[in-house]
Amino acid sequence: MAGLFPREVIDQVRDAVDVVELISSYVHLKKSGANFVGLCPFHAEKSPSFTVSPSKQFYHCFGCGEGGNAISFVMKRESLGFVEAVEFLANRAGITLPKRHEEPKEYSRIYEINKLAADFFRSKLADSPAAAYASRRGLSPETLQKFRIGYAPDAWDSCLGHLLSKKVGESEVENAGLAKKSSAGNLIDRFRNRMMFPISDERERVVGFGGRTLAEDDKGPKYLNSPETPVYFKGRVLYGLDRAGQAVRKKDQVMIVEGYMDLVALHQAGVENAVATSGTAFTEGQCRLLRRYTSNFVMVFDGDEAGKKAAARATEAAAAQGIRPSVVMLPTGKDPDDVVREGGAKAFLEMVRDAKPYMTYLIDQACAKHDMTTGEGRADAARSVLPELAALRDPLERASCVGYLSQKTGISAEKIEARLRTPRSAPDGGRAAPRPGVPVKTTTVRPRPPKPATMQEKKIMRGILDHPEKVTGEWGALTADDFLTPGFGVMLEHVRTCIEGGTTSAGEVIETLENQELRAYARALVMEDAKPESVAFIGTLVTGLHAAGLARRRKAERKKEIEEKKNDAERLK
């Protein structure tokens, strides 16, 4: 992966791109006062709440809380990493980037070797056992071509020999994971007599392979994956994402299945917003990857014990990243491939429509793990999901889930709610304590301060964000302690640090706020329709706020002195 660019290069690229012009190529924007508005590209809405500021050079959605600058927009919309987004914008602006920290040649070479191998396997598919197997499973020639499915011949060195003939060294073949040392010390093909599924990254580069055995008496694994290499990490790649990305974004939903054949069968049936974990456990890294496309996950698992365990691990990994997935447990012995072959896409999508919401799934799992014939077992089941319930911010959703838990355990909703209000279930002011598997934070941050701001403080903070240079000048006496609104003191100190460090752009000041909730609030504040107050008027408010802060602190100091004198007198007695 390319390294980071120098700060001045990133600034040059960002400054060369007009955020309104950029976003207009994705979203139909209309002028509205000083800003532009349109339908948000990151969530479904009927009335435009997505706002772009030409003066601040950033965007903010008042509906879902998404916001940022040109780079973050491209990262989110095009599902790119930071470096790739900078390259994308540089190319758009006609800027030549420095060739610093280039991608290691080793990586490029592995991609090249993997492509040669994929082409070789593809060339061996015709009239092979893999072709016969694909025909029995109902895969069309178009599907085989789309996923570049091939065949690894039943020989010790067919792929190896082909690659060597293409001037690829033995060590390079081994480094790419396509060959391994035999017990005798000879280099042999890793994949033999297997249907081959090339695994590609989001840029459609082949990073590895999955192979399904075609030998009935094969004592090895049914599915064999490439070992981890410099370009292939099982926990960071999803099979089919290169084909599914557009559909996932369009439908704002992703279906996560386990196997290669499941994924291929679903796509052939028209269910194109599906990806597969390649037969490995779903990881937090894969969750972060998918979260660039959507936050609506549907996890599909076999209903047997192995499937239940996989579902539990997968939902925990997703929840740790703030995603609360729906869960589909298929009938025992059935997989998505079976479902679509027997009933078509309609049968599968009906199961998806009946998917259990995250909390329903957790409550059902908790009840299944405890003895529900005893009062102790029912209480233990309820206790085990209290942190997750306490994390729910939507009062209607919480009430619904409490009602369902009450129905399942026989414990009254009133008692459950009472327990949720106790410090034991919510030690941080009614919110669940963070722990692995519990989605304390949602992925979408709505623009609001921790507590309602007074009109005076709100106007002052708007003025500070509009004119950040003033905090080291005529408004320099203002301190963090002058604010009563939680978070505003942090914002003031951040602005001051930025200005002292040479950052004068209001947009950049806001976008470098570390706290996500404060950052979203700051964006929303400067994009409000209300006309900003004059600098002179804000100066008057600043003077009043600072004076009130001084008076408040002096009063507190006097009170402390009185208390200390009183305590001293008590001790002398």
Confidence of residue 320 (pLDDT cuts 50, 70, 90): confident
Distance CA 573, CA 565 (A): 13
pLDDT tens digit sequence for 407-438: 999 999 999 999 988 754 443 333 333 333 33
pLDDT tens digit sequence for 523-534: 888 887 667 788
User: Considering the chain, what percentage of its residues have pLDDT values greater than 70?
Assistant: 91
Q: What is the pLDDT of residue 345?
A: 94
Q: Which helix (H) or strand (E) holds 297?
A: strand 297-301
pLDDT tens digit sequence for 191-224: 999 999 999 988 899 999 999 999 887 778 899 9
Report, as an integer, the average pLDDT of 335-354. 93
Which among 551, 507, 359, 539 is positioned nearest to 439, based on CA atoms?
359
Confidence of residue 96 (pLDDT cuts 50, 70, 90): confident
Q: What is the pLDDT of residue 444?
A: 40
The values of phi and psi at residue 181, to 5°, are: -85, 135
- Taking phi over 0 as left and psi of -120 to 50 as alpha, with beta for the rest, 65 belongs to left
Q: Which helix (H) or strand (E) holds 50?
A: strand 50-53
Mean pLDDT of the chain: 86
Confidence of residue 505 (pLDDT cuts 50, 70, 90): confident
pLDDT tens digit sequence for 229-284: 988 988 889 999 999 998 998 899 999 999 999 999 999 999 999 999 986 789 88
Q: What is the pLDDT of residue 104?
A: 64
| Burial of 569 (C-beta count, 10 Å sphere; 0-12/13-18/19+) | exposed
Q: What is the pLDDT of residue 529?
A: 66
pLDDT tens digit sequence for 147-200: 999 999 999 999 999 999 999 999 999 999 999 999 898 999 999 999 999 999
CB contact set of 7 (below 8 Å; sequence gap of 6+) = none
Residue 409: strand, helix, or coil: helix
CB contact set of 182 (below 8 Å; sequence gap of 6+) = 156, 188
Q: What is the pLDDT of residue 571?
A: 67
Distance CA 55, CA 466 (A): 10
CB contact set of 42 (below 8 Å; sequence gap of 6+) = 61, 64, 66, 76, 77
- Radius of gyration over alpha carbons of the chain, in Å? 29
Q: Is the pLDDT of residue 554 over 70?
A: yes
CB contact set of 225 (below 8 Å; sequence gap of 6+) = 199, 208, 209, 210, 211, 234, 278, 279, 280
- Amino acid type, 148: R
Alpha carbon of 167 to those of 164, 198, 303, 393: distances in Å? 5, 22, 48, 60
Report, as an integer, the average pLDDT of 53-70. 88
Report, as an integer, the average pLDDT of 513-539. 84
Q: What is the pLDDT of residue 4?
A: 60
Q: Is the pLDDT of residue 107 over 80?
A: yes
CB contact set of 471 (below 8 Å; sequence gap of 6+) = 464, 478, 492, 495, 496, 499
**Positive or negative, the Cα torsion across 296, 300, 304, 307?**
negative
Q: What is the pLDDT of residue 101?
A: 52
Say how many residues make up the chain. Answer: 573
3-state SS, one letter per residue, for 24-48? HCCCCCEEECCEEEECCCCCCCCCC
Report, as an integer, the average pLDDT of 499-526. 82
C-alpha 560: how far from chain center: 48
Report, as an integer, the average pLDDT of 101-115. 82
Other residues' Cβ atoms within 10 Å of the Cβ of residue 10:
18
Q: What is the pLDDT of residue 540?
A: 92
Confidence of residue 510 (pLDDT cuts 50, 70, 90): confident
Q: What domains appear along the chain, each with residue ranges and CATH number?
A: 7-93 (3.90.580.10), 105-230 (3.90.980.10), 241-353 (3.40.1360.10), 357-444 (no CATH), 455-556 (1.10.860.10)
Confidence of residue 99 (pLDDT cuts 50, 70, 90): low
pLDDT tens digit sequence for 354-397: 999 999 999 998 999 899 999 999 999 999 999 888 878 778 88
Q: What is the pLDDT of residue 100?
A: 53
Q: What is the pLDDT of residue 357?
A: 92
